[in-house]
Structure 1
Amino acid sequence: MFTRKLTLRNLNSYALMMFGALLLSTSVAHAQDTQAKLPNVMILATGGTIAGTGADSTTTVGYTSATVGVEKLIAAVPELKKIANVKGEQVFQIASESMTNDHWLKLAKRVNTLLAQPDVDGIVITHGTDTIEETAYFLDLTVKSRKPVVIVGAMRPSTAISADGPINLYNAVLLAGSKDAIGKGVLVSLNDQINAAREVTKTNTSTTDTFKSTELGMLGYIQGNKAYFYRQSTRKNTVDTEFDISKLDVLPQVDIIYGYANMTRAALDAQVASGAKGIIQAGVGDGSIAAQMKTPLVEARKKGVIIVRASRVGQGIVARNGEANDDELDFVVSDTLNAQKARILLMLALTKTNNTKEIQRMFYTY
């Protein structure tokens, strides 16, 4: 009798054990199936405020940028595993005001390598806000994939009360894994908003709503774990551009001179003397040229330097043959690009041609 009870008890234990194993196996299979359906997003970290730390939780200015590594950034947002299979890579660790052409070339080449892999569905780049718009536009012209590339940053360091970095990173990963973001060009995502690389600019020194596309408007919002697009840029980008940086190790020197009352030729002369192949004149108003600047600009053009008239205003079209006879002077106008983005396009244009008519076409294309 005792033996029979023991046997039944053993059978019951065995049945419970097998049932538990079945449940565990089903749970594991479900988890694996869920993970397999999630997009694969690579996070490339470059530093900036999003990776910064302050002396205490109320420090939102005077903090140290680029101190937190990519793995810690990812670990600080455990919710990421619910929306994507995420991997991280530290490309470099700098404050973005120190971004150089060499950094851009390295980053763009790495992005193109990763996007060529079938197991990468999108890329997020963490970046300092000071030059986000420039890096974004450079990538917009040089990335050779329609897969989403999203650049994200923060206006408050990771140690601050209500740090904006974690939610910005979460939204950026969500956006990079969204099929709706495919083919939209390089995107900049902060403050629950989606902006196009070509059009966005930093408009405030410290507030979290600093990134705006001014007159042309943002592309959409991120709300309730979904990206909502309402428009997209009409200018060519990524796979539709003519620029190839795969074999480039250096970019042509292009500098900016800033227009102001009583400006002199000293900065222009120094830049030309240092080897500038192109000059962006961020003129007043509609890219106006001061009377005392016309001769030095003409002299620079005769030396082969490409002159592009932009505006310090920050909005609007710089009209060709408006404030200067560009046809006669053989100058180029920047269209709606601000000076810092005009510099990027001119650098890339100069890797293809020195013909001002061709370069002007590029400014109206990209």
Structure 2
Amino acid sequence: MLISMWKKLALVGLTATALVATAAEKPNVVIVATGGTIAGAGASTANSAVYQSAKVKVDQLIVAVPELTNVANVRGEQIFAIGSESFTNDRLLELGKRISALSKQADVDGIVITHGTDTLEETAYFLNLTVHTDKPIVVVGSMRPSTAMSADGVLNLYDAVVVAGSPDAKGKGVLVTMNDQIDSGRDITKAVNIKTSAFSSQWGPLGMVVEGKNYWFRAPVKRHTTQSEFDIDKINQLAPVEIVYAYGNVPPTLYEAAAAGGAKAIIHAGVGNGGMGKWLVPTLQNIRQQGVQIIRAARVPNGIVIRNADQPDDKYDWVVAHDLNPQKARILASIALTQTNSSQELQRIFWEY
């Protein structure tokens, strides 16, 4: 009987040792929660578009996806509980500094950020520009709350943890996993507001996640993370940058108000190739002479703004946003203007990032 008991104890010990060994072999992934639809709840399972965001805490999100323990050692942090429309510059800075600190920890292999979809692309690009690490950082959200039929958040979160824990995701910048795709945080944008296929990039996804396995097809070539000249640990305030959306009868007063309000740069979300009505040109020339940067972007979802094609940018000392949409151009300008107010330097930055 004594021998039998020792055999049982030995088996328990071996099992415990095996569990410890298995845990040690898994990557360590931290999920930093900010709120959004992925943490939302509707009144019924039929509510997929009407619901309250940021109702479910990070620990509940993790428990709701038990399969996460198969792919990583996961722990959570709740930094905010907000809808992403409430992301201010100050919150971007707070989040960026926390992500930077986590990335420096030896016991962290990857980081997932749960986020509302409305401004997810802006946060992803901000982190892509400012956090100096080659560890995978993955931003993830969902288009339907967890209480809805066919909720997409569970699989999106699982995919995000898979990517964040994968060595093959290192050095690719900040990533976004939505709807089975792996996209660059620089390129991705929200193009639809009620479908699970809401996010897309005109340059295509970097890869896909299928049943817990990554498949890669391309890599980002623009400067990011460890190659970036911007460092979140040294940035404590962002420059004020405003966007003015152009249309057929847009008045100059909107641009004048932005300049009077203290903007260091104005993103002109222009028609076509960042174009504008002739009546706007004198006002924007005058604003530029006051020291405010004028950056021509486009309101169309795809394409690039070509320098000197619609307006004589060299003559007016204006900058073009290249392929960045207005909201991402604002992010880059607000960071770049903390280091330079040279239009030539700003244009270089827009080419390189």
Task: Give the TM interval when normalised to the shorter protein.
Answer: over 0.9
Deviation at 1:162, TM superposition (A): 1.5
User: Of the two, which has the highest radius of gyration?
Assistant: 1
Deviation at 1:300, TM superposition (A): 0.7
User: Unpaired runs of 5+ in structure 1?
Assistant: 1-12
Work out the CA distance in 1 between the residues paired with 2:193 and 2:232: 32
Counterpart among 222, 232, 253 of residue 235 in structure 1 = 222
1:304 equivalenced with 2:256 (yes/no): no
Counterpart among 117, 122, 128 of residue 140 in structure 1 = 128
Q: Secondary structure at the match of 1:363?
A: helix
User: Unpaired runs of 5+ in structure 2?
Assistant: none
2:210 match: 223
- Identity, in percent, stands at 51
Deviation at 1:266, TM superposition (A): 2.0
Counterpart among 316, 319, 343 of residue 356 in structure 1 = 343
Counterpart among 58, 63, 66 of residue 78 in structure 1 = 66
Q: Deviations over 1:10-30 (max 9, x none)?
A: xxx212211111111111111
1:284-323 pair list within 5 angstroms? 284-323=271-310
Residue type at the aligned position of 2:169: A
Counterpart among 94, 99, 102 of residue 111 in structure 1 = 99
1:226-265 pair list within 5 angstroms? 226-265=213-252
Whether the aligned pair in 1 keeps the contact of 2:131 and 2:232 (CA below 8 Å) is: no
Q: Deviations over 1:159-189 (max 9, x none)?
A: 1112111111111001000011000000000
1:131 equivalenced with 2:119 (yes/no): yes
1:18 equivalenced with 2:20 (yes/no): no
2:43 match: 55
Residue type at the aligned position of 2:98: R
CA RMSD of aligned residues (A): 0.8
Work out the CA distance in 2 between the residues paired with 1:26 and 1:114: 33
Whether the aligned pair in 1 keeps the contact of 2:238 and 2:338 (CA below 8 Å) is: yes
Q: Deviations over 1:264-318 (max 9, x none)?
A: 1121111111100000001000001211110111111011000100000121110
1:36 equivalenced with 2:19 (yes/no): no
Task: Tell me how many residue pairs correspond in the alignment.
Answer: 353
Residue type at the aligned position of 1:30: A
Work out the CA distance in 2 between the residues paired with 1:138 and 1:249: 14
Work out the CA distance in 2 between the residues paired with 1:354 and 1:36: 49
Work out the CA distance in 1 between the residues paired with 2:231 and 2:338: 9
2:179 match: 191
Q: Secondary structure at the match of 2:68?
A: helix
TM-score, normalising length: structure 2? 0.99
TM-score, normalising length: structure 1? 0.95
Q: Which runs of 4+ in 1 moved over 4 A?
A: none
